[in-house]
Structure 1
Amino acid sequence: MSNLQLIIEERAADIGKFLVGRLLPFRQKRMIGPFIFIDHMGPVKLNEREQMDILPHPHIGLSTLTFLFEGSIMHRDSLGTAIEIQPGAVNWMTAGKGIVHSERTPDHLRDSEKSLHGLQIWVALPKEREFMDPEFFHIEAHQIPTWTEGTTQFKLIAGEVMGHRSPVPAYSPLYMLEIKSQEKQTLHLGASLFGESGLYILEGGIQSEGNHFGPKQILVAKESSLCEFTIEANSTIYIFGGEAFPEERFIDWNFVATSKETLAVARQKWRNQEFDKIPGDSAEFVPYPSFQGK
């Protein structure tokens, strides 16, 4: 959707207790718990003539989670939401039966140099919530649970784990946990985790079973209860996952559904421009990509 997104080519290998991959989905593991898509956006530097302008585009069947490390994004959607997200806060948009949103450089930054760096994540909805009414929630950085254990800092961005609960209103059992460590140490998290677990390395690195892994890699634990590793000094990682759904999920462009028929209906609805419009945004929109061949 955006020329500012950094897409890491899929690489997967079986190394014992872990499948190693980059980005979701990849062939050997389409989802991790309810997490179906992870995009590492940036880091990029933009001058006063360069802007982020992702035009209105639709989603169904998922919640989007936006979490920034640097920069700001102006979010607008067809519910009438207009809010600027800044580093440390969470935008949680649940598409349900359908929502349209845009993501742009805020007006007050458009004439200056700026940076942009963050994660954009899709979390599939449980089947019984697939056609719920769309919702949007903005959770400020100070509302996100944070705590320290020794020299390790934890932040629970979404879900419930380790005796803490995020105010992000997730609709299935999940967790997304930020871990920062200034010192090299071994972490034993398995007893606190459930379902399926993935580990994303933002900076620094980890060691597991004699292997070293660095930034922009996702490790998928075969057994979340066995999740232990050595985190290197000055590292930031994210542990995410949760209970897997019993049904398969299908992806078509920005749409997620439990049936291909639902995807086909959404696809045609967008082509016909029958989704709700975004108040105060442009009449332009992202067309359904012709390369999909459908």
Structure 2
Amino acid sequence: MTAPLPSYLETLVVPRARDIGDFEVRRALPAAGRRMVGPFVFLDQMGPAEFLTGRGLDVRPHPHIGLATVTYLYEGEILHRDSLGSVQPIRPGDVNWMTAGHGITHSERTGPDVRAAGGPLFGIQSWVALPKGREDDAPAFVHHGRGSLPTIEAEGKRIRVVAGTLWGAASPVETASETIYADAILDAGASLPIDAVHEERAIYTLTGTVTIAGDVFEPGRLLVFRPGDRVTVTAATPARFLVLGGDPMDGPRHVWWNFVSSDPERIEEAKRRWSAGAFAAVPGESEFIPLPER
């Protein structure tokens, strides 16, 4: 029999493992018990993994619509290429924010120099759904280096604000809707209050053990808080977690493969376009991921 959730929790998600081509991820969103948290409609933990010399990540060109992809790393490096001509390595503490809008194609690979040496990869890729009035925006890509993201250090806490405004610090990352996203590192015994300013809030535990009101949570858990409750997270051991959420979306979202939309017909049209080769290609790439047969 499943134990009841604590009063401050709306949902607890234990992510499931998925293979994305010789590389395993843990998928926390979407889940059976929770489809979105604020605008976040997808959340994958990549690694931690260690690539042998000559091996690496190879996610071939694939399409997106109706969302923005957000890539944030703790270890390693990924080389992003897209159909706008962007070529951008991302390293720990940076953020890549790619707005798909009406359609974009991109690849995510380990660059040749990093591949030759081998090494670790550990990070998060999330998708934020675009508001209905922004789903057909022109595609765009922006990169923010770690030095441009505000960091708060106090009382055993180190917090990097990736998007939105939290604890008095504002990220330079522009978002299409109210969004909060932060990387929190706590020493053992340190505490972080998460106020109820935003209606939808969650943390995703990455390393170490945290406690909330005496309840203990291990790594790899998505804790979705009830609206209106002020919650304090305390590190029982040195710990790292994400804080994410924002305003509720303006209606449900349909998710099929890499496509997100408020209108199922937009997804059907995107399927037809990808099958017909009508999406723009990634310069310098000849491979692509075919449309799934499902």
TM above 0.5: yes
For residue 185 of structure 2, the aligned residue among 177, 180, 184 is 180
Do residues 32 (structure 1) and 40 (structure 2) align?
Answer: no
1:82-133 deviation digits (Å, cap 9, x = unpaired):
1111111000000000000001111112222211110000000111100000
Do residues 61 (structure 1) and 69 (structure 2) align?
Answer: no
In structure 2, the partner of 1:155 is: 160
In structure 2, the partner of 1:284 is: 287
The correspondence of residues 179-258 of structure 1 with structure 2, limited to 5 A, is 179-191=184-196, 193-258=197-262
Do residues 20 (structure 1) and 12 (structure 2) align?
Answer: yes
The correspondence of residues 18-167 of structure 1 with structure 2, limited to 5 A, is 18=9, 19-22=11-14, 23-167=28-172
In structure 2, the partner of 1:4 is: none
- Structure 2 unaligned residues grouped into runs of 5+: 15-27
Range moving further from structure 2, 107-116 or 124-133: 107-116
**Does the 8 Å CA contact 1:160/1:173 hold for their aligned counterparts?**
no
Instruction: Tell me the SS of whatever aligns to 2:268.
Output: helix
CA distance in 2, matches of 1:133, 1:258: 17
CA distance in 2, matches of 1:13, 1:47: 43
**Does the 8 Å CA contact 2:58/2:110 hold for their aligned counterparts?**
yes
- CA 75–186 in structure 1, closer or farther in 2 if over 3 Å, else same: closer
1:200-229 deviation digits (Å, cap 9, x = unpaired):
111112112432111011100012542223
CA distance in 1, matches of 2:143, 2:191: 34
**Does the 8 Å CA contact 1:12/1:26 hold for their aligned counterparts?**
no
**Does the 8 Å CA contact 1:24/1:37 hold for their aligned counterparts?**
yes
| Cα deviation, residue 162, structure 1 | 2.1
In structure 1, the partner of 2:21 is: none
CA distance in 2, matches of 1:220, 1:182: 23
Shift >4 Å, 4+ stretches: none
In structure 2, the partner of 1:6 is: none
CA distance in 1, matches of 2:287, 2:3: 38
**Does the 8 Å CA contact 2:212/2:231 hold for their aligned counterparts?**
no
| Cα deviation, residue 183, structure 1 | 2.8
1:37-65 deviation digits (Å, cap 9, x = unpaired):
00000111111232211110000000000
CA distance in 2, matches of 1:101, 1:152: 35
What TM-score, normalized by structure 1, do the two folds share? 0.91
CA distance in 2, matches of 1:69, 1:155: 12
CA distance in 1, matches of 2:66, 2:3: 27
**Does the 8 Å CA contact 2:157/2:190 hold for their aligned counterparts?**
no
**Does the 8 Å CA contact 2:210/2:237 hold for their aligned counterparts?**
no
- CA 13–54 in structure 1, closer or farther in 2 if over 3 Å, else same: farther
| Cα deviation, residue 177, structure 1 | 1.3
| Two-structure CA RMSD over aligned residues (Å) | 1.6
Letter in structure 2 aligned against 1:15: P
Letter in structure 2 aligned against 1:81: S
Instruction: Tell me the SS of whatever aligns to 2:61.
Output: strand
- CA 12–107 in structure 1, closer or farther in 2 if over 3 Å, else same: farther
CA distance in 1, matches of 2:78, 2:142: 15
